Structure 1
Amino acid sequence: MASSTTSPAPQSTANGHGATGPSSEARASAAARPPGRDARLDNAKFILIALVVVGHAIEPISDYGPASALYYWIYFFHMPAFIMISGYLSRSFDSSSMRVEKLVLTLAVPYLIFWTIHQTIYTVERGGLPDTLSVLKPTWTLWFLVALFLWRLTVPVWQRLRWPVAIAVVISLFATTADLGSTLSIGRVLSFLPFFVLGLSLRREHFAHLDRLWVRIGSVLVLGFTALLAVPVSDRLSRDWLFWKESLTDRAIDPLMPSIGIRLAFMGIALVMTVAVLALTPKRRTWYTSLGAYTLYVYLGHSVFLILLKASPWYDLMSGPVALATTLSLGMGVTLLLCTPWVRGCMRWAVEPQPTWFLRQDDKGLAHKEAEARKRTAEAERSSV
């Protein structure tokens, strides 16, 4: 998730005694280099993907009070936060051939692979084919890949608008008043749209405000208050409000008021909690900073693991605090396991496939570059004989 990242910046070397300073060309070249990876964002991505796994893992035991409160607290903000970071990391998408091909290879193809894996497991578990085999209906967690694919295709449009965030909020609210169905998870695509567009609108200097002392103190208070808020909310409010996918017209309350007001309240909670988590996330490198680059492996891999786990007797063997503690440990263990090099090596064919053979060769595309690389390799081999 949030797979578009900047490349690490080269480390500069200090001039030795008597060495001449860098030329104007060197300074210009250094200024043109892309900025390095943001350690804060990588740290936040790992924290958020761990919360995704934990949230999905404790869902079957959320009838237990503390597990339910934790589940609601995680779902208040974890996907909006991830989506905002994804929007920020999508700012360079320009609809060029290479960008579109990369979008297909990193989102569309993995989606088809894991959709097939999910449906195969469901078919075996149920002893028959599911109700629909349409690839336009995402299975469980795969809605995010569809949403990110569609959001990134619209990046040039949002970058041309004068008030993109306000327009996205209006679209999101109007979308809740119509029954959009489950095709392409369009309900979630439109409901979460403001967070993606907000991420697109952010700049690196905006993150500097997170380091202010009053922001950090306020962030602790926000997370503490929302943790307390999750307790009564988990008892009184339907989970449908957390998933952002269903129309407000099928609720037991008026679809306009107070439904729109509740949706706006959830938007506000998600936004302030996202800011709070980012403010409290270390901006220096930590032991898990490098793991933030592998969120897509965790996101796709944990879905298969948990589908299999839910089909097993695991959740029938425990209950209460033991089930919660054990499942939390399991969720964190799975997150770390899916980040290990050997697991990523086994999953690379599905998470980062390179089937450029089915793409048209374009002089600006990945397929052309691969063909050129193969041609150079062949020529080098012939010349060495």
Structure 2
Amino acid sequence: MKPTLRLSLAAELLYIDMQSKMSCGDGKEPNRVNAMEPDLWSLYRQMLRSRRFEEAVKDLWEKGVISGEMHLGIGEEAVAAGVVGHLREGDAMALDHRGTPPLVARGLDLVPLLREFLGREDGLCSGMGGHMHLFSPERLGASSGIVGAVGPLAAGFALAAQHLRPENLAVAFFGDGAMNQGMLMEALNLAVVWKLPVLFVCKDNAWAITTRSPSVTGGSLVERAQSFGMPAAEVDGSDVEAVWKAAGRGAARARGGDGPAFLLARCSRIEGHFLGDPLLRAVRKPLRQMKEMTGPLVRSVLAKKGLPLRKRAAGLSAAISLIGQTAKEQRGERRDPLEIARGRLSKEPGRLDELHAEVDREIARAVETALS
């Protein structure tokens, strides 16, 4: 049996077990918005909750309270809120290493989530999962730090839903770099062959860790998904209303038994690949970074050993050009989804202030409780 198929079957069995135990731990329905038209206030609230929670996580990480790597989804909030806004009870989520925003939008209790990041036994996964390997039976959400693993996981969830709850679906969240992983391609193929109710959501921030995706990716990702025989759409991932509408079409197709759909949402990776990512220095302070890097590069060019001087000089020129190009591209691409949504809601400043104060109080209470 192939590894991908084993993982799909394992996810199906996991889904069956979770269905038998599933309840909303806080006694509430998962967060949802109106099924006919996007409720921008509700969507913005979920985006803001996610942003404030991850900002609190960043603060704790910088203080050394949270240890290890930390991958934040800051800049991806519109994708999470717009897609999760269509999920119902019984729908499943397969999440990547930036799975916090969808879980927050889904209504997960923030206290055990934060305690999991702290490595505590009373965390969501007893402190064993960290931020990349999360699991919530109440919200039918599971994440993996293995790039591309969400594909077969979502296919397994969807296979179980197809047999047990025909109107439910699974969502897979992943980045553009994952589209070059074989297991995700296998999952796309099987989802079409078996007409699985899956919505594949690609968060395209144009980076695969520290490599610009266009330099390692051939062709269009939308056309690649279409080549399997599923409808694929591209949307501005910083526009939560646009994401909501596009995700709604894909979700309706999956629930209707017509098979999977693919959504590519272009968004910004505001905090780098991980907290402390040195690449951010080249993006945010390109002139200083260029000065710091030029010295070692020039010394390598003038070294006695190595390639011919002409080739080393050409390499130096290419490296400096790449630093400048990267900084220029990132400055042009950096779009904050919260700023865009907030601009559309600015006609009611008093209501905005109240919402911000409410969310700030919620996050502050969650942090205080988690640390107690």
Provide TM-score, normalisation by structure 2. 0.24
Higher relative contact order, structure no. (Cα contacts within 8 Å, ≥ 6 residues apart): 1
Larger strand share, 1 or 2: 2
Provide TM-score, normalisation by structure 1. 0.23
Larger helix share, 1 or 2: 1
The structure number with the bigger radius of gyration is 1
